[in-house]
Structure 1
């Protein structure tokens, strides 16, 4: 099946067999693959995608007729409604999620987020499921890091900190992986909110130093703004209060201009 889709992509791009399967296989095997008569090894298939200049994620999107599978779409809608503060839509999507095929671990994490948002106690079973998953994790993947970044706000504080140190060890493996800096920046930002709330000065300082490493470059400007906010908050909370207030005011001006509502709300609350 995949071969026929590759053939369609190749023809749409007006690429030859030679160009598409260069360094992969012979013309005879390439034709057989595109006819669905043989498969390619995983590494060979990835090379074909690279020759076509598309990612595996985009290939799956094309293969699904430019749509996401039901679970992936539902997870996307949940994340979008959560990140944009649309709690009513988030709750609606959450109610549909089980029948759309979202797995139990992800469902539990989203239910925990919903309870957190509406200021209700976390379901003990959901919290136990998520906590146990991370506590028993021996190898962190990108999906694990994303999940942890999402639920860090609802985990017990001591567990969150313990897991954070384990999660950060994965950075060495993903040092040059595209988009990894943004993911680790998100993780640190979410955890920093709790270290400041818990008045953990030394821990907040250490996390801020690491955050600064992950927010370099134009494409990470939004994360850099959060880093500047927490630097200003650190000065305001632990250093010179007047200087910290001035720093927060400067960040506030930028956040208002960029319509970063979350940062605006946080700073206004601090400067009351």
Structure 2
């Protein structure tokens, strides 16, 4: 279907009159041609029409695509699940599949996905350091004068392999950009995720100074809403890990947080937190 046909179907399903959607935007003949798919409109007018329909661009894209799932999100979800399950054979299969997609389409995003999956495989196995795959991601990121959401997610997913001086240099830029996207509902927790991942690296390295720095930044991103329970729980957990580094461990609180994840059937998160706690305790024994 053409854009105008989808708009027309949405308008009719909402029982809205043409004048309520197109007044001051399109003439009556233009409306007819547009909704029949015989003509298009300008970007400015398109956004005005969406506003009159009380429809977000994301919702429209979903309807226009025939309710298709986001294949990029599905791919990220697939290799994330395989990674946290430590399923190395599955990661190898996914890497092969995405490489094939790149060869078929020449779309750079598939090369990036394949590189990320290879980095994850290296994290779980004794494969040689992925210089080639890291270079693919690093070269792309550093050639971009402006980062958008795609670049920020790419950076977040490859944090473990960047030297610390690079992380420090890029972090401010990434944080500023992520703060902009934080205003969009679907990206609300991305800044929290970025800082959390860097904080985990600093905790594992037993770097108290930088752990405190990133914890302070993480605290600023926290939503005041009670429905962001996961973020509140993780922030408290990170606070208690820093206390372990300062030799002020509150075993009761740490146990309670881990038990909460277990109670909520968040086994993967609970196991990750238990593993991180073990590393921090070992470093400060």
Q: What's the TM-score, normalizing by structure 1?
A: 0.85
The 1:187–1:162 alpha-carbon spacing in structure 2 relative to 1, beyond 3 Å, is same
- Partner of residue 239, structure 2: 231
Residues 21-170 of structure 1 aligned to structure 2 (within 5 Å): 21-68=22-69, 72-73=70-71, 75-84=72-81, 85-86=84-85, 87=87, 88-100=89-101, 101=105, 102-170=109-177
Q: Say which of 259, 262, 266 aligns to 1:260.
A: 266
Note the residue ranges of structure 1 that are not aligned, 5 or more in a row: none
Given the superposition, is the C-alpha separation of residues 105 and 82 from structure 1 closer, same or farther in structure 2, using an over 3 Å criterion?
closer
Q: Is the 8 A contact 1:112 1:123 kept in 2?
A: yes
Size of the aligned set, in residue pairs, is 266
Seen in structure 2, the aligned counterparts of structure 1 residues 57 and 193 have a Cα distance that, compared at 3 Å, is same
**Structure 2: distance between partners of 1:154 and 1:263:** 22
RMSD of the alignment, in Å? 2.4
Q: Distance in 2 between matches of 1:46 and 1:133?
A: 31
Gaps spanning 5+ residues in structure 2: where? none
| TM-score normalised by length of structure 2 | 0.82
Distance 2:124 2:229 in 1: 27
Supply the distance in 1 between the matched residues of 2:154 and 2:115 (Cα, whole angstroms): 11
- Take 2:192 and 2:185, find their aligned partners in 1: how far apart are those partners? 13
Distance 2:15 2:93 in 1: 44
Any conservation in 1 of the 2:119–2:134 contact (CA below 8 Å)? Answer: yes
Contact 2:79 2:94 in 1 (8 A): no
